[in-house]
Structure formats: C-alpha cells, structure tokens
Amino acid sequence: MNSHMLLTRGFAIVGFLTLIGCAGDRPATLGVQNNVLAGCPESPNCVCSFETRDSHSIAPLQGSLADVRAALSQMPRTQIIGEEGDYLYAEFTSRLMGYVDDVEFLAVPAENIVHVRSASRLGYSDMGVNRERVEMIRSLMTP
C-alpha cells in the first residue's frame, strides 16, 4: 500500500472517530422530575417551556403527544428514543458534524399543551438551533 492510500485511509478513520465523538453521552438529567422537565444550564444552548429566564424560555406547544409524533416524523435525522405515558424523548442529529441534541416533551392533556425542552448535548452556544427546532415543531403541529 502506498503512502497516499495510507494517508487517505488515516484521514477517513480520524473523520469517522470525530463524528462518533460528537454524539456525546446521553444526559442523566433526562425525564420528568416533580411533574416538570429539567431546567436549562447557564449556557445558551437550551430552551425549555418551564424556564423563567428569557434567554431560555419558550412557550409550550399546543396539542397532544400524537401531534408531536406526527411533526417529528416529518423532520430529518430525528429518532424517538422513548415514550411513556405523557412523556416523549427524541434525539436530533446534525447533518454535518453528527452532534446530538436531546428533546423532551411532557403533555398536559387537560390543557391541550405539551411542554418542551430542547438542549444541545455538547458545546456552549447552539446559534439558536434549539429554539428554531421547537418553532419548527410548533409550525408542523399547526393545521
């Protein structure tokens, strides 16, 4: 094997390992605690409908978990990981670098709303991606 082929293969392996590393570990704070989703960290890479800080606050979604599921089915690189009762958890993977974001939904059927938390797993700033994602889900849920 010549040196050019070895170099090319080496870059491919490094690139693959970099993409795997971008996924990060699933946070231990996922899920419902005391009937709410976890708050956001100080970093500007998270939005949550339970948050009171303007920088992290977003309105709940109008509708049901069935509406959320239908919206998620229209979004690329989205995988529903789990659903139990009024809770749904999904992962979104970015196209270029393979970064994974964690998105949680908690339905309140009596009010026809779904609380949402969308957070980047890695990094500090998300350049508004999580807020944009929730607004896209909202628009897909609107008839």
- Containing 91, the helix (H) or strand (E) segment is strand 87-93
Label residue 77 by pLDDT band (50, 70, 90): very high
Q: What is the mean pLDDT of residues 83-88?
A: 98
Evaluated on CA atoms 30, 34, 37, 38, the torsion sign reads negative
Token readout for 28 is: 């231990």
Could you give the maximum distance between any two Cα atoms of the chain, in Å?
67
Domains of the chain: 25-141 (3.30.310)
| DSSP one-letter code for 94 | -
Q: How far apart are the first and last CA of the chain?
A: 59
pLDDT tens, residue by residue, 104-135: 999 999 999 999 999 999 989 999 999 999 99
Q: What is the mean pLDDT of residues 66-91?
A: 98
